[in-house]
Amino acid sequence: MPYVECTIVVDAPARDVYELAKDQERFPEFMPDVESVTVLERHADRVITRWKTLVEEAPIEWTEEDRYDDDALCVSYRLLEGDLDKFEGAWRFEDGDGRTRVVLGVEYDFGVPTLAELIGPTLHKKVQENSQMMLDALKREAEAACRERR
């Protein structure tokens, strides 16, 4: 399966960045390609959400389950339904003296081998760019919130 991993360092405490990442309904406020995130079910350790995004101006929708490990500062997610056969991974938040190393991993599969052969490198690049865009937006929002609290 194709896999993408992106990393960023955020000048904010890990717990704060983790809590921001858990607040997915706010993502459209600061992530340009995310149109909406609707919580369908909310439980103590997980949520089921419906996402609407744009990739190269094309709308993409899916439903995913996100599981929270508050002790490990990790959000794992997996596709429940949508355009891909597989879309899953995790956000990890590693504390480092008031700074946070965020690692976002994505494993994906279109489920159409001939399509993957034709556009695989382009799709891989798009998944990587989208993952980095999410991290960049999370960084901007978390650092702005941290500055406001000072």
76 versus 55: the higher-pLDDT residue is 76
Q: Is 72 helix (H, G, I), strand (E, B) or coil?
A: coil
What does the alpha-carbon distance between residue 11 and residue 14 come to, in Å, rounded to a whole number? Answer: 9
Torsion, Cα 64 21 61 42, to 10 degrees, reads: 50
By C-alpha distance, which of 6, 50, 7, 55 is closest to 25? 50
User: Which of 78, 31, 83, 91 lies closest to 59 in space, CA to CA?
Assistant: 83
Q: Tell me the pLDDT tens digit for each residue of 26-64.
A: 999 999 889 999 999 999 999 999 999 877 777 888 999
Domain ranges of the chain: 3-149
What's the CATH code, domain 3-149? 3.30.530.20
Are the C-beta atoms of 52 and 27 separated by less than 8 Å? no
**pLDDT per residue over 105-129, tens digit each?**
999 887 766 656 666 677 788 889 8
Helix (H) and strand (E) counts in the chain: 3, 7
User: Regarding predicted confidence, which is higher, 74 or 112?
Assistant: 74
Please report the pLDDT score of residue 49 as a whole number: 97
- pLDDT value for 121: 74
In contact, 41 and 99? CB cutoff 8 Å: no
Q: What is the pTM assigned to this prediction?
A: 0.89
Which range (25-29, 71-75, 83-87, 115-119) has the least confidence?
115-119
- The per-residue pLDDT for 133 is 93
Read off the pLDDT of residues 7-24 as tens digits, 9 standing for 90 and up: 999 999 999 999 999 999
